[in-house]
Amino acid sequence: MFYDIFIAPFVDMVEAPDFLMQVLWEGLVSGILYALIALGFVLIFRSSRIFNFAQGIMVVFAALTLVGLYAMGVPAWICVILTLGVMFVLAVAIERIVLRPLVGQPDIILFMATIGITLFLIGFGEVIFGGENKVMITEELGIPTGSVLLEPFGGLLILEQKDITAVVVAALLVVGLLVFLNRTRMGRAIRALGDDPQAALSVGISIQTIWVLVWFIAGIIALVTGIAWGARAGVSFALEVIAYKALPVLMLGGLESIAGAIIGGLMIGILEKLFEIYWGQPLLGGNTETWFAFVLALIVLLFRPQGLFGEKIIERV
Amino acid sequence: MKHFTKLAAAALALSVLAGGAAADETEALFVPNLAYRTGPFAATGIPLMNGQRDYALMLNARDGGVGGIKLNFEECETGYNTQKGVECYEKTKGTAIVTQPWSTGITLQVLPKTNVDQIPILAPGYGFSPMADGKVFQWAYNMPGSYWDAASMILKYISDGNLDSLKGKTIAYLHLDHPFGKEPLPYLEKMAADHGFKLEPIPVGLKEMQNQSAQWLQIRRLRPDYVIMWGWGAMNAGAITEAVKTKFPMENFVGTWWSGHDADLNIVGDKGKGYKSISFSRPVLDAPIMADLKKYVYDKGDSLSNDEERSGVFYSRGLVISMILSEAIATAQEHFGKKDIGPADLRWGLENLNITDERLAELGMTGMVAPFKTTCGDHTGHSGGWILEWDGTKFVQASDHLMPDSEVIRPMEVEGAKAYAEANAPWPVNETCSAEAG
């Protein structure tokens, strides 16, 4: 048993380094997509203290809108612009109809409201688009669909071009987001509202505008995530389930930290893949990805309740 | 007084309307479907439910139902969730003559309840394989084939009929980590032990259906000779795209009959060429029934389906499943000499079904399913099936008619049923029926 746990996995890694590289690559791709979903949660939580349960269904809704518009004969890139428009309208509607009447209510009420948004979007999406699995318009968007075959250490490493594209686009999105939050007036306003809502309001920052903005940015992230995941296995309501994988990312990285979401996502993506391949499958019968991330997050919470990068919240009583 | 008269008149009008509605209800057989058009499994559920629904609508429009009584084909949405499925069962069982649970998990949950409620379960091609033993499972039916049948036919196909030729080979069994995915394991494990091949079960969690890179990395490391897939819902598309990505030879990749959905293969198109799926049904687009469906349902705008879906394997299977139910109703009506049958009458109809080539021709469904017959001891019928292969745009037939290995399966069914009854004792058994005779 000692050998199987502590020696054999590392022997496997050394004996087949190309396979190890493949595992790391797959982990990186999954991780960056987890990080994207987690970013949507973090942005909204930072600015409004709302845990947005609807982020997963927003991914589905954005992807379905995109392929739905394309099915109506709209050119692919116009579909992207129109989908962004739909996500903006959704952000405005959520702020006006759901959030504004609940300003000042306890956090749990706002959280419950996002569950309501989830249920509404599921029903509305199914009525408009149907529940069938749809093909993502990958090639139409100019995303390459072939493979890059490399032969490191005399072995084989397969890199899907659409995965490479997803990683690059996600990285650009994260950089863009960081620049926006740190270098623009609106970005600083979002951070200010998250840091001290009362002070932010007192200097004239509009809570309504900021909420619309962060929900819209979460919508943009949802669209990018939907395209990336949809290109892998089609667009269906099953995509929503993947969003739950962002929960341990948030627990690990902290609810308020953009860096935490990114690093937490990458950590979980890579570690769960390594554990599954070298320990889970040989020793536990596989399918450890279902629980590994939660156990890892739980261990982190035992030592750092605020997550690896979260801020310790001290409330005066 | 005037006010009271008005109220009395309104009450009278309502009672007349209510009476009328009640009369209408008794003039229809309530055959609820525990459907799932929402959630992660909706993509595969919708075409099946549409096929079932359209067939029932056609019977109502063309023949006034079955034997002169209409079918009330109401759906209760489960989202493929076992808990919701049980709620739907409880909600509909009052006046229903059958329950169609549409999930192995829901079937296993309602199985003991149906003994008490005395309502037949119709689970065509799914559920618990030992349900075939009608002596033990008096109220459960999974004709025309069980999961053990499907596994047997797949092994027969990949071994060219000689399972000993699989000796020394490795078969990866990629399955949903759910009662449905685990169901064929006892049969596959026995075959692996008897015929000397290595079986490698690879579970896919519900949250990992669209992210199966770890499972396919394992397959790459194992280098199996074949991959057999027991997938459902989003798992199928996830597996097929990963197989394409890892360049697994498609001709050695075979799925069960719930893993052969056209829309899942459309995602990979040409790259999925050679992928196969066992099937107990086939689409026959020029079958006479299709013309009747067009005339009585599609042209009236009553169908929820579309042309593309109607040409697919799953829609056609939905038609076959509703045909099985309506034929059981007709059989019971004829036997008992009444049109308004109850659940116990339908049970008789379900275990005395005889779907012959002649009957299929009369129904306009020649070739859509193979002939089969049920008895009180055999609730499965074991019709056999065909291997369908994806040609890049659609599934086409790729084998002659295959039959499951009943010599191996039948004793396993009887043994499995006995073990279930003992584990759930006291379990009522139909002593008048011989399972072995099945």
Q: Which of B217, B247, B267 sits opposite A277 (nearest CB)?
A: B217
Mean pLDDT lowest among A139-148, A268-277, B325-334: A139-148
Query: In this structure, is residue B291 part of a structural domain?
Result: yes
Percent of chain B whose pLDDT exceeds 90: 81
* Domain endpoint, select from B319, B351, B373: B373
- Determine whether the interchain pair A234/B241 forms a contact, defined as Cβ–Cβ distance below 8 Å: yes
Q: State the nearest Cα–Cα gap between B238 and chain A, in angstroms.
A: 5
pLDDT, tens only, A150-207: 999 999 999 999 999 999 999 999 899 889 988 999 989 988 887 787 888 888 888 8
List residues bridging with B358 in a β-sheet.
Answer: none
Same domain, B272 and B325: no
Q: Which of A131, A236, A277 sits opposite B218 (nearest CB)?
A: A277
Query: In this structure, is residue B169 part of a structural domain?
Result: yes
Residue B364 vs residue A307, higher pLDDT: B364
- Determine whether the interchain pair B214/A232 forms a contact, defined as Cβ–Cβ distance below 8 Å: no
Query: In this structure, is residue B243 part of a structural domain?
Result: yes
pLDDT, tens only, A133-142: 888 999 999 9
Q: State the nearest Cα–Cα gap between A71 and chain B, in angstroms.
A: 14
Query: In this structure, is residue B416 part of a structural domain?
Result: no
Same domain, B267 and B359: no
Q: State the nearest Cα–Cα gap between B179 and chain A, in angstroms.
A: 15
Tokens standing for residue A138: 């990958």
- pLDDT value of position A315: 63
Q: Which of B201, B215, B245 sits opposite A158 (nearest CB)?
A: B245
Asked whether the predicted pLDDT for residue B4 surpasses 60, the reply is no
Q: Which of B46, B220, B237 sits opposite A131 (nearest CB)?
A: B46
Average pLDDT of A52-74?
Answer: 93
- pLDDT value of position B211: 87
Give the whole-angstrom CA distance, residue B394 versus residue A80: 30
- Determine whether the interchain pair A158/B43 forms a contact, defined as Cβ–Cβ distance below 8 Å: no
Q: What is the domain count for chain B? A: 2
Report the residue of chain B nearest A133, measured CA to CA: B43
- Determine whether the interchain pair A26/B177 forms a contact, defined as Cβ–Cβ distance below 8 Å: no
Report the residue of chain B nearest A239, measured CA to CA: B210
A interface residues, B as partner, C-beta within 8 Å: 16, 19, 22-23, 26, 29-30, 122, 126, 130-133, 135, 147, 158, 160, 229, 232-234, 236-242, 244-245, 272-273, 276-277, 280-281, 285-287, 289-290
Task: Say if residues A268 and A249 touch (Cβ distance below 8 Å).
Answer: yes
Same domain, B192 and B314: no
Q: Which residue has the tokens 């920052």?
A: A205
pLDDT, tens only, B63-95: 999 999 999 999 999 988 999 999 999 999 999
Mutation target vs A (from B38, B48, B211, B268; most A CBs, 10 A cutoff)? B211
- Determine whether the interchain pair A286/B202 forms a contact, defined as Cβ–Cβ distance below 8 Å: yes
- pLDDT value of position B130: 95
Q: Which of A22, A122, A133 sits opposite B217 (nearest CB)?
A: A22
Amino acid, res. B316: S
Q: Which of A131, A234, A241 sits opposite B207 (nearest CB)?
A: A241
State yes or no: ipTM above 0.95.
no
pLDDT, tens only, B30-74: 999 999 988 888 888 999 999 999 999 999 999 999 999 999 999
**Contact list, A158 vs chain B (CB under 8 Å):** 245-247
Same domain, B261 and B313: no
Q: Which of A26, A232, A289 sits opposite B241 (nearest CB)?
A: A232
**Contact list, B242 vs chain A (CB under 8 Å):** 233
- pLDDT value of position B5: 47
Query: In this structure, is residue B434 part of a structural domain?
Result: no
* Domain endpoint, select from B373, B390, B414: B373
Banded model confidence at residue B105, pLDDT cuts 50, 70, 90: confident
Banded model confidence at residue A216, pLDDT cuts 50, 70, 90: very high
Mean pLDDT lowest among A313-317, B181-185, B345-349, B361-365: A313-317
Query: How many A/B residue pairs have CB atoms within 8 Å?
Result: 133
* Domain endpoint, select from B279, B304, B335: B279
Query: In this structure, is residue B306 part of a structural domain?
Result: yes
- pLDDT value of position A313: 66
Report the residue of chain A nearest B238, measured CA to CA: A233
Q: State the nearest Cα–Cα gap between A201 and chain B, in angstroms.
A: 41
Q: Which of A133, A272, A277 sits opposite B264 (nearest CB)?
A: A133
Look up the CATH number of the domain holding residue B154. 3.40.50.2300
**What stretches of B93-158 show up as alpha helix (H) in DSSP?**
104-117, 147-158
Banded model confidence at residue B434, pLDDT cuts 50, 70, 90: low
Same domain, B314 and B353: yes
Residues 6+ apart with CB under 8 A from A218: A40, A43, A44, A52, A55, A58, A91
Mean pLDDT score across all residues of chain B: 91
Q: State the nearest Cα–Cα gap between B202 and chain A, in angstroms.
A: 7
Same domain, B232 and B307: no
Residue B303 vs residue A106, higher pLDDT: B303
**Long-range contacts made by residues A84-89, C-beta under 8 angstroms, separation at least 24?**
A84/A219, A84/A220, A84/A223, A86/A62, A87/A58, A87/A62, A87/A216, A87/A219, A87/A220, A87/A222, A87/A223, A88/A212, A88/A216, A88/A219
Q: Which residue has the tokens 């739905």?
A: A68
**Contact list, B229 vs chain A (CB under 8 Å):** none
Task: Say if residues B280 and B147 touch (Cβ distance below 8 Å).
Answer: no
Tokens standing for residue B318: 């939905």
- Determine whether the interchain pair A19/B204 forms a contact, defined as Cβ–Cβ distance below 8 Å: no
Q: Which of A30, A233, A239 sits opposite B241 (nearest CB)?
A: A233
- Determine whether the interchain pair B208/A229 forms a contact, defined as Cβ–Cβ distance below 8 Å: no
pLDDT, tens only, B189-241: 999 999 999 999 999 998 888 889 999 999 999 999 999 999 988 899 899 99
Banded model confidence at residue A317, pLDDT cuts 50, 70, 90: low
Instruction: Count CA within 13 A, CB hemisphere, residue A132.
Output: 27
The pair phi, psi for residue B223, each rounded to 5°, is 50, 60
Average pLDDT of B387-413?
Answer: 96
- Determine whether the interchain pair A286/B206 forms a contact, defined as Cβ–Cβ distance below 8 Å: no
- pLDDT value of position B10: 47
Same domain, B266 and B301: no
Q: State the nearest Cα–Cα gap between B275 and chain A, in angstroms.
A: 16
Q: Tell me the CA distances in angstroms from A173 to A36, A89, A192, A263, B113, one per residue in order.
A: 9, 21, 21, 15, 54
Same domain, B186 and B230: yes
Domain span holding position B239? 148-279
Query: In this structure, is residue B238 part of a structural domain?
Result: yes
Same domain, B160 and B219: yes
Tokens standing for residue B345: 């009458």
Report the residue of chain A nearest B261, measured CA to CA: A133
If you compute the radius of gyration of chain A from its CA atoms, what whole number of angstroms results?
A: 21
Same domain, B237 and B156: yes
Query: In this structure, is residue B7 part of a structural domain?
Result: no
Report the residue of chain B nearest A125, measured CA to CA: B38
Same domain, B261 and B357: no
Same domain, B170 and B263: yes
